[in-house]
Amino acid sequence: MKRQAQAAILFLLGASLLHAATTDLYLRYVKSGLRPLLLLSAAILITASLATAWYERKTPTPATHPEPRISWLLTLPVLALILVAPPALGSYSALRTGTALQEPYGYENLPPADPLPLPLTDYAARAAYDKGRTLRNRSVEITGFVALSPSGTPYLVRMTLNCCAADAQPIKVALTGRVPPVLRPDTWLRVTGTYTPRTTKDPVNGAPIPYLKVTEATPTRAPQDPYDETWNN
C-alpha cells in the first residue's frame, strides 16, 4: 500500500477514535477510565498520518506497482466503528456467564436517604456477604436490566468491566415480592425494595445470588454508561 493510502487509513482510524472518545460511543467498548488513553491514541494516529503525508509530499518515491484495490477494504472496520454502535451486552450474555460477585474488603456506612439509591453491585455484596447488616430496615433503589433464568426466576443484572466489553461479567440480584407480572428480557428497571436473607445459587458457577424484596418496579431508560464499574473502581 502506498504511503498516501497509509496516511489516509491512519487518519481515518485516529479520527474514529477521537469521535468515539469525545462522545459516549467508547463506553460500548471500554470502561470510562480509559478515555484519556483513547484520546492520546487518537492524537498519535492523527499526528502520524499527517507526518506520513508530509514526508511523502517532500520525498519523491520511486515508481511502484499499483496496489490492489482490495487493500482499501481495510477501511471498512474503521467505518463500522463510526457508523454502527454495537448494543451493550444484555441478558443473553448474563445468563451464560456466572455471577462475578466477590466479597469486598469492607463496607462503607450508608447515607440516611429513603429510599437509598444503591449500585446493584453494592447491594448484592452487602446482601450476600454481610448478611444484610447495613441493609436491614432500609428501603433501597437499584437499577439494572431484566434477565430470566431457565427456571423463570427474574434477575436484575448489571455487567461489570475490568477493561473492556470483551471481559464483561454479570452481577445478578434475584427479585421477589411485588414483581411485575410480565417482564421482558433486557428491559431496564428501577426497583425499590427491601433486604431479604433469601439467596439462591447461580446455575452457571454456583456463586450466591441474593434476593431483593420488591415494593415497586418502574421501567427506565438505559443509563449513559450501561456497564456498572463500581465493583472495579
Asked whether residue 126 falls in the same domain as residue 35, the answer is no
Q: Cell for 78?
A: 474503521
pTM: 0.74
Round to whole Å and give the CA distance between 38 and 168: 19
Asked whether residue 24 falls in the same domain as residue 106, the answer is no
Last residue in a domain, options 32, 64, 83: 83
Asked whether residue 16 falls in the same domain as residue 105, the answer is no
Four-CA torsion 88, 93, 95, 97, nearest 10 degrees: -120
The 10s digit of each residue's pLDDT in 15-72 is 777 877 787 777 667 777 777 887 888 788 888 878 877 777 777 655 555 555 665 6
Q: Rounded mean pLDDT of 94-123?
A: 90
Asked whether residue 60 falls in the same domain as residue 97, the answer is no
Asked whether residue 100 falls in the same domain as residue 177, the answer is yes
Interaxial angle between packed helices 3-21 and 35-58, expressed in degrees from 0 to 180 and rounded to the nearest 10 = 160
Domain count, the chain: 2
Asked whether residue 128 falls in the same domain as residue 72, the answer is no
Asked whether residue 54 falls in the same domain as residue 103, the answer is no
The 10s digit of each residue's pLDDT in 167-200 is 788 999 999 999 998 899 999 999 999 999 999 9
Residue 228, pLDDT > 80, answer: no
pLDDT at position 233: 37
Last residue in a domain, options 83, 107, 132: 83
Domain interval for residue 126: 91-232
Asked whether residue 176 falls in the same domain as residue 123, the answer is yes
The mean predicted confidence, pLDDT, of the chain is 83
Residue 75, pLDDT > 70, answer: no
Asked whether residue 96 falls in the same domain as residue 45, the answer is no
Which pLDDT band, with edges at 50, 70 and 90, does 231 fall under? very low
Asked whether residue 135 falls in the same domain as residue 63, the answer is no
Which strand (E) or helix (H) includes residue 15?
A: helix 3-21
The 10s digit of each residue's pLDDT in 116-166 is 999 999 999 999 999 889 998 999 999 999 999 988 999 999 988 877 777
pLDDT at position 232: 39
Cα distances (angstroms) measured from residue 78 to each of 96, 135, 158: 30, 47, 29
Last residue in a domain, options 83, 103, 134: 83
Asked whether residue 73 falls in the same domain as residue 140, the answer is no
CATH number at residue 110: 2.40.50
Asked whether residue 103 falls in the same domain as residue 196, the answer is yes
pLDDT at position 84: 65
